[in-house]
Structure 1
């Protein structure tokens, strides 16, 4: 094999060291390159207006091969200054020819070309590709995050719709809708204790075991009379009229509370018999004990105190009982079923009164616990041979199956009286702040949904922008790769000429 047929393989990373080691370029070539770049900057200050030059000078990295192209263009623009000897009188041409000679001296152009080639291979091209990959990753992440926001949005919308459904409102005008839905609260109470008569056997069994005649008074009253007013439960008769306290809903941001510090100042203690403003509370300062002149009281012979009261003749006083009581301003309420007026807490029904509702729940949970315990004992008694296992084995009124039925009825009433809608409406009616809490919660859900939607739209726009930025890097990468391939070709040809046209391979170049 001839020497000319042996290829020269040069690794890209060692190209610059290879050129210096073969004495093709000097060691101090970097200083010469900096001096040439200074001259190029000065020469660029005075350039003719030419389309080709403008397009060529748009490239910020001007190298030796760009200088050769600039000289060729100047030969056309500065041809009027050319002498018969082939020289140019134009200073522009002289400057660029001088730059070209400096490049060719000591093969500085080859060192610079190798430097640009290595930098493109090691940094510029990988940097652009890394940036493109990062933009692609950010685009995918933005799209994924935008898609992931659908789940919390759907969940919030479902919770918002569920809360509105529980309250029985649409959410357009909460104050008016709350007032309207509260009007149906009595029907919910009636519906919740539907079939309450089925728990009467359980009440009887509990009374029999406990030894109390009426251990669950409120529950027994509801079984017998239904959800009556507290007035009827207390007085054992229905009221003539019911004046239920007005419903107060506070949907404002700040809840104004009444000042309870001056309650005593509002209490009317009444007046004296003479119409004066004297309080009925008697103090020692206004009592007239008489003037005893500082003399001690002495007992009489009979051992009795002489109070100074003259004895009146003991004459019989006749009382007339026939005068109607109305003449004395006394009003007597009706008797029997006539009743009176239910006001305040007594105007509420048993299930609507905060106090009596809690007592009702305590009683029905108490009955539930008793039935569960009795059912457990019956099951243990059936599986045990010990006759004395149960303390209530002498009570055989109900078997396990009948107690199960009663227990099912009790559990049904507990579920119905404690369901979400009833609890919400109960709190809404008796707590002015609760309406504001519900309205705030609904508003926060709506704002959260709006924020999620806004964030999703922002992420979608961001993904589009990132995709456009990624696409804008395509021509940059293509141009950079093309430039690097041209530089690689120039380097391989130049080195090949120096070594009798042997083939030169730059390993690790552009694929």
Structure 2
């Protein structure tokens, strides 16, 4: 192979050092290029109207190769100033010819072109690409978060609607609607009492069973509150305590005193931080409510009543006679046994006790004595307590139905509102929090949409700039390879790692 056919490979990152080390340029070229740039800035102030020149001077760094093109264009526009000796009288042509001459002195143009190529390949083009990639990522993330915000906002609104439907209100004026619902509490308690009366057979079976097991028990007391409701229904607490209905009932006045402040450690923080859409929700239909936490009414009779003359005087109840005659039911005694939280809790305890017994009985009836690992089994009791499994299952289902009736979320919330009017404020605040969170999600979606549009605008602006920069860098690389090739007897020159590798 002849020497002139051996290619010259130059790494882009070492291009400037290569031309200086081969003495194609001097190390003082930065000082020389300063004078050239001043000449260009001066000459560019007076340019003819020409499409080619306008295109060259638009949005680009003017280098030596651009100056050569400008001189060629000026040969056409300034042709009338050309003398017989081939010289041009136009100052424009003289200025640009001087720029070209300064560029070619010591090959300053080559050093500058190498530096521009290196800067474009190493910094400019990768930087624009990175910015475009970043804006694309911002758009993708914003779009995904927008969808999440829309979904979460709808979930909060659906949750609000579900809870209001669960409470039986429209949700326009929550506190007022909840207070209005208190009128249906007696009917709901009546329904509970009716369901409880259907457990009479189960309660009788439990009492009979205990009588068989506990020998010598002449008067066995079990499930006292459940048994009372089965026999007499949802009477007043007064009648339950004294065994006779009151002559007059004075409805208790509910206290509207401020509630004890809730510890800040247990408060829910709905700040600007990311929202946890799980455990922070206010669940009204789940979880057990402690029926004994709120007692806004003064309880006049907590201990067992001794019907002596002294106690009657202290209680303020005058026993006028026997039979249906009695006193006045006040305070908690004016409430029904299901409306008063302490007797209601006793009723629920009885139901749970009966449920546990029936479940245990069913389990043992399905288990043979050989498979049982217990030393004692309820199945070993007297045969008179034996009933069919199917009948026992019917009893259990009725007990469970009664428990579900008394534990309905709507009844629980109304009972708490009945005992503490301030509880309605807490329920209203809990429900409205869902709407506030939905509005916050919609506000976040608006911000994200604006961010996404802004990123799309910036990406659209950078795409043409990147394309144009790549095209001009490719042309600059080709011009450099061509000029270096001329200096080495037209040997092929390849700049590796250039714009073509990006």
TM-score band, normalised by shorter chain: 0.7 to 0.9
Choose from 411, 419, 424 the match for 1:422.
411
- Is the CA contact 2:484–2:493 (under 8 Å) kept in the aligned structure 1? yes
Aligned to 1:327: none
- Is the CA contact 1:193–1:416 (under 8 Å) kept in the aligned structure 2? no
TM-score (norm 1): 0.73
Supply the distance in 1 between the matched residues of 2:158 and 2:46 (Cα, whole angstroms): 71
- Give the SS at the match of 2:385: coil
Aligned to 1:311: none
Aligned to 1:177: 177
Supply the distance in 2 between the matched residues of 1:331 and 1:349 (Cα, whole angstroms): 21
Supply the distance in 1 between the matched residues of 2:427 and 2:496 (Cα, whole angstroms): 73
Cα pair distance change 1:240/1:55, threshold 3 Å: farther
Cα pair distance change 1:488/1:60, threshold 3 Å: closer
- Give the SS at the match of 1:449: helix
Deviation of the 1:223 alpha carbon? 0.3
- Give the SS at the match of 1:149: helix
1:360 aligns with 2:367: no
- Is the CA contact 1:381–1:389 (under 8 Å) kept in the aligned structure 2? no
The correspondence of residues 256-271 of structure 1 with structure 2, limited to 5 A, is none
Aligned to 2:59: 59
1:156 aligns with 2:156: yes
The correspondence of residues 80-99 of structure 1 with structure 2, limited to 5 A, is 86=87, 90=91, 96-99=96-99
Aligned to 1:454: 443
Cα pair distance change 1:381/1:2, threshold 3 Å: closer
- Give the SS at the match of 1:355: helix
Choose from 230, 235, 238 the match for 2:237.
230
- Is the CA contact 2:175–2:425 (under 8 Å) kept in the aligned structure 1? no
The correspondence of residues 42-441 of structure 1 with structure 2, limited to 5 A, is 43=42, 47-48=45-46, 57-59=57-59, 61-68=61-68, 86=87, 90=91, 96-208=96-208, 209=210, 211=217, 212-246=219-253, 336-337=323-324, 339-379=326-366, 382-383=369-370, 389-390=376-377, 393-394=381-382, 396-399=384-387, 401=389, 402-441=391-430
- Is the CA contact 2:175–2:428 (under 8 Å) kept in the aligned structure 1? no
Cα pair distance change 1:385/1:495, threshold 3 Å: closer
Deviation of the 1:126 alpha carbon? 1.9
- Give the SS at the match of 2:198: helix
Q: Which runs of 5+ in 2 are unaligned?
A: 263-316
Supply the distance in 1 between the matched residues of 2:445 and 2:434 (Cα, whole angstroms): 16
Q: CA RMSD in A?
A: 3.8
Aligned to 1:323: none
- Is the CA contact 2:319–2:327 (under 8 Å) kept in the aligned structure 1? no
Supply the distance in 1 between the matched residues of 2:88 and 2:154 (Cα, whole angstroms): 81
Q: How many residues align?
A: 434
TM-score (norm 2): 0.74
Aligned to 1:507: 496
> More displaced, 183-192 or 396-405?
396-405
1:21 aligns with 2:18: no
Aligned to 1:483: 472
Q: Which runs of 5+ in 1 are unaligned?
A: 256-329
Larger Rg, first or second structure (1 or 2): 1
